[in-house]
Amino acid sequence: MREMPAPFLAPRTTLRVGGTAIAELVLEQREDVYLLPDKLKALGGTPLVLGAGSNILAQDGELPLVLIRPFFYDGPEIAGEADGKILVRAGAGVPMARLLRFCSASGLSGLEGLVGIPGSVGGAVAMNAGSHGTETCKNIHSVQVVIDNTIERISASALQYGYRTLSINGKKNDFIVLEATFGLTVAERDGICNCMRHNFFKKKSKQPVTAWSAGCVFKNPSPEMSAGRLLDEAGFKGRKLGGMAFSTLHANFLINEGKGSATAALALLQEAREAVLQRFGIALEPEVRIVPCLLP
- Domain definitions of the chain by residue range: 2-70, 77-205, 209-291
Give me the catalytic one of 24, 112, 179, 287.
Answer: 287
Cα 201 to Cα 79, 113, 116, 195, 268, distances in angstroms: 31, 12, 9, 10, 29
> 120: Cβ–Cβ under 8 A, 6 or more apart, which residues?
51, 52, 92, 93, 94, 95, 96
The answer to whether the beta carbons of residues 249 and 207 sit under 8 Å apart is yes
Choose among 35, 19, 78, 4: nearest CA to 292. 19
Q: What is the full per-residue pLDDT of the chain (296 aa) written as tens digits?
A: 999 999 999 999 999 999 999 999 999 999 999 999 999 999 999 999 999 999 999 999 999 999 999 999 999 999 999 999 999 999 999 999 999 999 999 999 999 999 998 889 999 999 999 888 899 999 999 999 999 889 999 999 999 999 888 999 887 878 999 999 999 999 999 999 999 999 999 999 999 999 999 999 999 999 899 999 999 999 999 999 999 999 999 999 999 999 999 999 999 999 999 999 999 999 999 999 999 875 54
96 contacts 124 by C-beta, under 8 angstroms? yes
- Residue of 89, 103, 179, 216 marked active site: 216
What's the rounded Cα separation, in Å, for the pair 198 and 201?
5
Nearest to 91 by CA among 170, 215, 182: 182
Provide the 10 A C-beta neighbour count for residue 140: 20
Which residue from 117, 71, 126 is spatially nearest to 98, judged by alpha carbons?
Answer: 117
- 255: Cβ contacts below 8 Å, ≥ 6 apart: 208, 211, 212, 213, 244, 245, 246, 247
Residue from 12, 164, 273, 289 carrying the catalytic annotation: 164
The Cα 34–Cα 233 span in angstroms is: 50
Residue 141 CA, distance from chain mean position: 19
What is the DSSP code (8-state) at residue 284? P
Q: Answer yes or no: are the C-beta atoms of 176 and 125 closer than 8 Å.
A: no
**Sign (positive/negative) of CA torsion 270, 276, 278, 284?**
negative
Does 2-70 match 77-205 in CATH topology?
no
Half-sphere exposure of 144 (CA within 13 A, CB side): 15
C-alpha to C-alpha distance for 204 and 122, rounded to whole angstroms: 24
CATH class of 209-291: alpha beta
Residue 296 CA to its chain's centroid (Å): 19
With beta carbons less than 8 A apart as the criterion, state whether 61 and 81 touch.
no
Cis ω before 296 (30° cut-off from 0): no
69, containing H or E segment: strand 65-70
pLDDT at 223: 87
Report pLDDT for 295: 52
Q: Is 216 a known active-site residue?
A: yes
Run of H or E residues at 121: helix 121-126
User: Which among 25, 13, 23 has a CA at the least distance from the CA of 59?
Assistant: 13
Catalytic (active site) residue 293: no
Instruction: Quote the pTM value.
Output: 0.90
**Residue 164 annotated as catalytic:** yes
Just give the CATH number of 77-205: 3.30.465.10
Determine the Cα–Cα distance for residues 72 and 177; give it in Å rounded to an integer: 10
Considering the four listed CATH numbers 3.30.43.10, 3.10.350.10, 1.10.240.10, 2.60.40.420, the one that applies to the domain covering 2-70 is: 3.30.43.10
